[in-house]
Structure 1
Amino acid sequence: MSLERVVFVHGSGRFGAAAWPKQHGLSLDFDCLYLRRHGFDAEAEPLATDHDRDQEIVAEALGAGGHVVAHAEGAVPAMLLAVERPDLVGSLTLIEPACLSLTAGLPATKAHIDLMAPLVAERHAMSDGDFLREFLRRGSIAEEAEEPVGGVGRNAARLRLQSPPWEAPLSIVPGVPTLVLTGGWEPLYEEVAQYLAGTGAIHRVVPGGHRPHDTPEGAALIRAFLRSTGEQAAA
């Protein structure tokens, strides 16, 4: 009997298997693939965001179908694919999802966009280092605090090229079982999670900052959700 496929989609910091240190053990029970989104490479030059290519990468990894686990900005192509190809996506696990276009009119998201949009508008006229410093000075909740793959300079260059998540053409995902996991530390992510819970998603809060999936409780919730949705599909 073949194992169910689980595809992991990273955010803006670590990528590949390095982004999911506490999920490697799932490979005992599932066929796990840890992806690299478009433009994320330890040696090649960073590239600008391409949501279409990211969706293709996820779809190719899913093959005949499976589960998708996505973190932060990785939740954007995961949701886009689930809307376009619900036949491929058996379940969605969204961790601190940066699906800001869904909540652009709500208070925490609007405050974040108002703060960051002027900087994003000027990013192509700035150096990578200047952009990163200003990004962090404005209190960004992105993943730059993580240890970067490929060096700080490459991480800064990649960050400057990323399109703002509030511009992604997202809509809700009808009929796909969805777990949203947040760390309970940042109102922006809680706002997105509550919005998704209002559309039928399960929302769980696990103290753990921006990486609640690195905690024992968070990892256990992900495992249990994957197992339960797989059993439901089999039944």
Structure 2
Amino acid sequence: MTLRRLYVHGAGRRGDAAWPHVTGAREVDFVSFPNASSIAAQVEKLIALCGGERMLIFAHSIGAVPVVLAADRLDIAGLVLVEPALYDLARGEEAIERHIAIVTEARSQADNGDLVAFWAILRPLMFGGPFEPATWDDERPLAEHWASTNLPWGHGVRAGMLRGIPTLVATGGWNAEYERIAARLASDGATHVVLEGFAHRPQDSPSFGAAVADFKRDLAVSDR
């Protein structure tokens, strides 16, 4: 059996830049959501784009949120989630609650018009290192992006939404939040692989393609 493949980006890179293991493949679609699109709008776009066709779907980070929310209206043969930001699945976990609390505090500063205060809180959490006034002019566009991007929680993602869908979860082994989310998915039947050395982008690991190939063999599918 052959499958069309759909790739859903996270909050950063898009297209083939986000998925370096995809080379010269046919029957591949890269989703690109408008920057200001809501999660609900992304769900509807996925449903329209897939059109009822059976698919192998890849999603990175926050891109996993609309995929999971749309799953019951898609025909998914297999799902590959890369560091999925499915925070609602792991509410109550210390690492998850800490992250949500910090981001909530930072976003409240941005909502009050203080982008510098927002960045002083968010930058160490997301990128490491303190806020530096000397680099503010260069980093301001990045701060503006993160002050307005969708948050990956509060969208109604619940345990069991992927039950019955063969799922591979790849994490980088660097962050407790993503490991806890992956553990919750694994407890619901997903296969979890850890590809270290590439932080939030384990799809950049030379081992990622082999992990996907093993997963696809279990699905008894092939590329065109």
TM-score, length-scaled by structure 1: 0.79
Identify the match of residue 206 of structure 1 among 183, 195, 199.
Answer: 195
Tell me how far apart the structure 2 counterparts of residues 126 and 229 of structure 1 sit (CA, whole Å): 50
- The two structures, once aligned, show a CA RMSD in angstroms of 2.5
In structure 1, runs of 5+ residues without a counterpart are: 40-46, 143-150
The corresponding residue for 1:125 is: 112
The corresponding residue for 1:54 is: 42
Encode CA deviations 1:42-99: one digit per residue, 9 max, x unaligned: xxxxx1x4112212222233232201100011011111111x314x222111100110
The corresponding residue for 1:11 is: 10
Identify the match of residue 164 of structure 2 among 175, 192, 213.
Answer: 175
Identify the match of residue 101 of structure 1 among 88, 91, 110.
Answer: 88
Identify the match of residue 37 of structure 1 among 33, 38, 55.
Answer: 33
In the alignment, structure 1 residue 215 sits paired with structure 2 residue 214: no
Q: Give the counterpart letter for 1:13 in structure 2.
A: G
Q: Give the counterpart letter for 1:170 in structure 2.
A: V
The corresponding residue for 2:179 is: 190
1:153/1:224 CA distance change after superposition, 3 Å: farther
**Of the two, which has the highest radius of gyration?**
2
TM-score, length-scaled by structure 2: 0.82
Conserved? CA contact 2:39–2:150, under 8 Å:
no
Tell me how far apart the structure 2 counterparts of residues 22 and 91 of structure 1 sit (CA, whole Å): 17
Post-superposition offset of 1:17: 2.3
Post-superposition offset of 1:194: 0.3
The number of aligned residues is 209
Conserved? CA contact 2:110–2:117, under 8 Å:
no
Conserved? CA contact 2:106–2:119, under 8 Å:
no
In structure 2, runs of 5+ residues without a counterpart are: 129-137
Q: Equivalent pairs: percent with the same residue?
A: 31
